[in-house]
Amino acid sequence: MRNFNAIAPNLHAASSIVSLIAQNLHSQAIKLTLSLSSPILTDQTYTLFIKSGHVLDTHLATSIITRFSKSADFFRSFRFLLDTHQPDIVVFNSLLSGYAQFHQSSACFSLYNKLGWYGLNPDRYTLSSLIKSCDSLEKIMIAHLLCVKFGFSLSGFLASGLIHKYSKFGCLESAEKCFEECLDVDGVVWTSMINGYVWNGELDKGREVFVGMRGLGLELNEFNLTAVVGALRELREGEQIHGFALKSGLLCGAIENSLLLTPGRQLHSLSHKAGFMNVTSVGNALISMYGKCNEVNDARLVFDEVSFRDPISWNSLIWVYSENGLVGSAVKVFSQMCECGIQPNQYTLASILGAVAGPSFSDIVMQMHSLMIKTGLTSDDTMISCLISSYGKCHILDYAKRVFSTVSESNVEHLQVMAATAVTAGCPEEALECCKSAVSLWSEIDVVTLSVVLKACSSLTNLGLGRAIHCLVMKSGLGSDRFVETAVVDFYCKSGSIADAQNIFLDVSSHNLAAWNAMIMGYAQHGCYDEVLDLFGNMTELGIKPDEITYLGILQACCHVGLVKEANFHLSSMFELHGLVPCLEHYACIVDLLGRGGLIKEAKLIIDQMPVSPDAQIWQSLLSACHNFGNLKLGEVAARELLKLQPENDSAYILMSNLYAKAGNWDAVRRMRKEMKEKSIYKEPGSSWTEVGASVCHFLAEDLSQPQNE
């Protein structure tokens, strides 16, 4: 008899299993092991089951496969299916359902094709799983044809799934056809069609269907409302991803927030009238919807209205604050959540960690790290990646390395995150080492690794290595990937080879906005204002909508050439022509431009009139201008504000010390130097690097240690 005591969760369970086996009740023993969630125990009990001459019947097989499929243990699930004596369609459905739940589309279709070997025909549950698993328009069309073939095309149970998938893939015409042909249209089918219109930006049609649904007397319930509000939220999420895609060069165009906010507010009002605001799921959906539309105050009001707040309610509000850059408010809500006795989970911590950016948030990251250790989340691969990235954003690479070193078995994703973090923290050499490890671990090179390598080469301005990587890109067949081609253009621009960047840019997709932005930024860095304007004009002629990064490149070009009037024009046209709101980076360009031109009072006026609080970069630009033009009064103001934000900023002390020296105020100079000494603040020496042979050599100012320094 096997030693079940060693692997059973408790002694009572072990004795129960042994007792059942002794009575030849192996089926009940296997079911007991399933309830204990111990795969090894199930395997051992099943071995005894087979040795005792039993055959795996369909009823027991369904229970086993369902249990393992729910935990994504498809290896065991498939093995038990093969062991089943004369499996019926229910057994197959138990595994198909698991594949669909975890989006294993290829496996789902492959298993479906095996039904014919057993002489089985699909039922509606089979086809439902097949539809749910579809990850392409081609597959959903195949699933639809199978529904027609087996006489299920007019079933509301399947029609809702078909409408959902067709809508997700942007094929509204097919979704509408399924809706029209469905005979038993229930609330689920109506809701699917409404969501389909909302997802595709057809808000008026969605509203018409919603009104038609209510006109037919179909019950309005919390599920309908939650689904429709969720669709609005997902559409806004799609638009934000769409915005990222614009920056990454994937798509063009956008939908205004107001188009989504108006129906969202109407549904909020309807929820009040129908008495569903006490339903937690409705409140949670509204919180997320308002968050996606950047309506933080409305999201908070809904949160306060929800009578019973579950963990999703708290996570939703924390996410809203984090997504809108209000990290302090997110942490405050997080503290209130803990005080209410609600255990934070990985989604809570990921929301906060995802919002941190900059050294000022290092304490928060460390606190989240400590909590991860206490709650046992350090074994979660996603959380480990998130933590590594957050430490990198805070420029604490040593801590990121420490987290990375605790991973028992590094995977490609961890290495890629560590590489990207090293680049962010200004350590491109270490990023390259991580990428080498990722390639050796996986034996293949992918888009993410190539993008990080090229970014590291850009930081090093290592033209030779970058060209070699470019050759590898072409050989690997990934040259047409939009992320990669953008990274190649960016690399050549930052490495000073603007001609190579131009040649590569001519071959990129015309709608890859990220590549256009990279080329504009490249021209700006090289002071080519006319080329920037020409490129911007070509963009607009092709119907490509510029984004904030596009205008940042234009303003940087103005800054390099000293065009104050033109810069002010472009700053104004951002909102007037394209509805883009200038952010800190745009104002920083204007302040820097005015400061370089000696227009220090005008630069200070811009800072005073900014709709957002100036950051350290803006105050440092003003301080540098004051230093260059000897404006002691405004220099003191800029230094004071800069040191509030960055108390240990060495350049603030150095610039003010020099400014006082120019003014002959030697007492102030001594005071500044004394304060630096007391705070252990030292000027970081200037450094540079150059490529010598196959290696990159670093040099400090007046560094004579290199044997080839002459």
Could you read off the pLDDT of 379-394 as tens digits, one per residue? Answer: 777 888 888 888 888 8
**Six token digits for residue 665:** 């105020």
- The pTM of the full predicted model, rounded to 2 decimals, is 0.55
3-state DSSP helix/strand/coil percent for the chain, to nearest 5?
70, 0, 25
- CA distance linking residue 7 with residue 40, whole number of Å: 8
Which DSSP letter does residue 14 get? Answer: H
Q: Which pLDDT score is estimated for 252?
A: 25
3-class DSSP state for residue 256? Answer: coil
CB 29 within 8 A of CB 10: no
In angstroms, the Cα distances linking 252 to 98, 192, 246, 513, 549 are 36, 26, 6, 8, 14
Q: Which pLDDT score is estimated for 247?
A: 31
Which DSSP letter does residue 546 get? Answer: P
Which DSSP letter does residue 684 get? Answer: P
Q: Which pLDDT score is estimated for 233?
A: 52
Q: Which pLDDT score is estimated for 260?
A: 56
Q: Which pLDDT score is estimated for 394?
A: 81
- CA distance linking residue 89 with residue 207, whole number of Å: 40
CB 271 within 8 A of CB 240: no
Name the stretches of the chain with pLDDT < 70: 1-15, 17-18, 22, 26, 37, 153-154, 203-204, 207, 210-211, 213-264, 266, 270-271, 273-277, 357-358, 408-412, 438-446, 682-710
> How many other β-carbons are positioned within 10 Å of the β-carbon of residue 125?
17
- CA distance linking residue 361 with residue 346, whole number of Å: 19
Q: Which pLDDT score is estimated for 276?
A: 64
3-state secondary structure labels for all residues of 440-473: HHHCCCCHHHHHHHHHHHHHHCCHHHHHHHHHHH
Angle at 180 between CA 177 and CA 186, to 5 degrees: 125
